[in-house]
A and B are shown apart, each in its own frame.
Chain A
Amino acid sequence: MGCWGPFWQGGFVFMNRDLVTADAQRRRAMGQILLLAAALLVLVAISAASVVLVNEARKANASVVRTVEVENHLNALLLEIRRAESGARGYLLTSGPEFLRDHDSAVSNILPYLEKLERLTGDNAAQVEYLRKLRPAIETRLGQFAREMNFVKQGDPQSATAVVREAAAGDTSTIIRDVAQAMRAEEDRLFLARTVTADRTQQLASLVTVAGSGLVIALAGISIFLVRRSSRARDEAETQLRDSNLNLETTIDERTADLREANDEIQRFAYIVSHDLRSPLVNIMGFTSELEELRGDIFKRIAALSRVQSEAPPAPENATDTAEPVLEGPDKKLSEDFSEALSFIKSSIGKMDRLISAILNLTREGRREFEPVWIDTRELIDGIVATVAHQAAEAQAEIRIDALPNIVSDRLALEQIFSNLIDNALKYLKTGVPGEITVRGRTKLGFAIFEISDNGRGIDPKDHQRIFDLFRRAGTQDKPGQGIGLAHVRALVRRLGGTMSVASELHQGSTFTITLPINWPAGNRNIRT
Chain B
Amino acid sequence: MSNPVTIIMIEDDEGHARLIERNIRRSGVNNEIIPFTSGTEALNYLFGKDGTGLDHKGGALLILLDLNLPDTSGIDILKRVKENQYLKTTPVVVLTTTDDSQEIKRCYELGCNVYITKPVNYESFANAIRQLGLFFSVIQVPPAAI
Which A positions have Cβ atoms within 8 angstroms of B?
Answer: 275-276, 278-283, 285-290, 349-350, 353, 360, 364
Chain A residues whose CB sits within 8 angstroms of the CB of B68 once the complex forms: 275-276, 279
In the complex the two chains form, what is the Cα distance from A288 to B13 in whole Å? 16
Contacts of B20-55 to chain A: CB distance below 8 A? 22
The 8 closest A-B pairs by CB, nearest first: A283-B15, A289-B122, A286-B19, A353-B120, A278-B97, A285-B122, A286-B122, A281-B120
User: Measuring CB to CB, which residues of chain B are less than 8 angstroms from any residue of chain A?
Assistant: 13, 15-16, 19, 22, 68, 97-100, 118, 120-123, 125-126
Bound-complex Cα distance A288 to B19 (A): 11
A-B contact count (CB 8 A): 50
Q: Other than the known A275-B68, A278-B97, what 7 A-B pairs have Cβ atoms closer than 8 Å?
A: A279-B97, A280-B15, A282-B13, A287-B19, A288-B122, A290-B19, A350-B121
User: Who on chain A is nearest to B99 by CB?
Assistant: A360
Cβ of A278: which chain B residues have Cβ within 8 Å of it? 97, 118, 120
Q: Which residues of A contact B125 (CB under 8 A)?
A: 282, 285-286
Q: Are A285 and B16 in contact (CB under 8 A)?
A: no
Is the Cβ of B121 less than 8 Å from the Cβ of A285? yes
CB-based contact A282/B100 at 8 Å:
no
Q: Is the CB of A282 within 8 A of B98?
A: no
- Tell me the dominant secondary structure on chain A's binding face: helix
Among A276, A286, A364, max chain B CB count under 10 A is at A286
Which residue in chain A gives the minimum CB-CB distance to B98? A275
A279 contacts which of B16, B22, B121, B122 (Cβ < 8 Å)?
B16
- State whether A287 touches B15 (Cβ < 8 A): yes
Q: Whole-angstrom distance from the CB of A327 to the nearest CB of chain B?
A: 25
- Contacts A281-B120, A287-B15, A287-B19 known; A364 to B100 CB distance under 8 Å? yes
Please give, as numbers and ranges, the residues of chain A lying within 8 Å of B123 by CB-CB distance: 289
Could you tell me the distance between the alpha carbons of A278 and B13 in the complex, rounded to whole angstroms? Answer: 12
Contact in complex: B100, A283 (CB < 8 Å): no
Instruction: Tell me the smallest distance from the CB of A17 to a CB of chain B, in Å.
Output: 52
Given contacts A278-B97, A282-B125, contact A349 B120 (CB under 8 A): yes
- Decide: B126 and A289 in contact? CB cutoff 8 A: yes
Are the CB atoms of B118 and A282 closer together than 8 Å? Answer: yes
Question: How far is it, in angstroms, between the C-alpha of A285 and the C-alpha of B99 when the chains are bound?
Answer: 18
Residues on A with beta carbons closer than 8 Å to the beta carbon of B121: 285, 350, 353
- The 18 listed contacts between A and B (C-beta, < 8 Å) are A275-B68, A275-B97, A275-B98, A280-B15, A281-B120, A282-B19, A282-B97, A282-B125, A283-B13, A283-B16, A285-B121, A286-B125, A286-B126, A287-B15, A287-B19, A350-B121, A353-B120, A353-B121
Chain A minimum-CB-distance residue to B66: A279
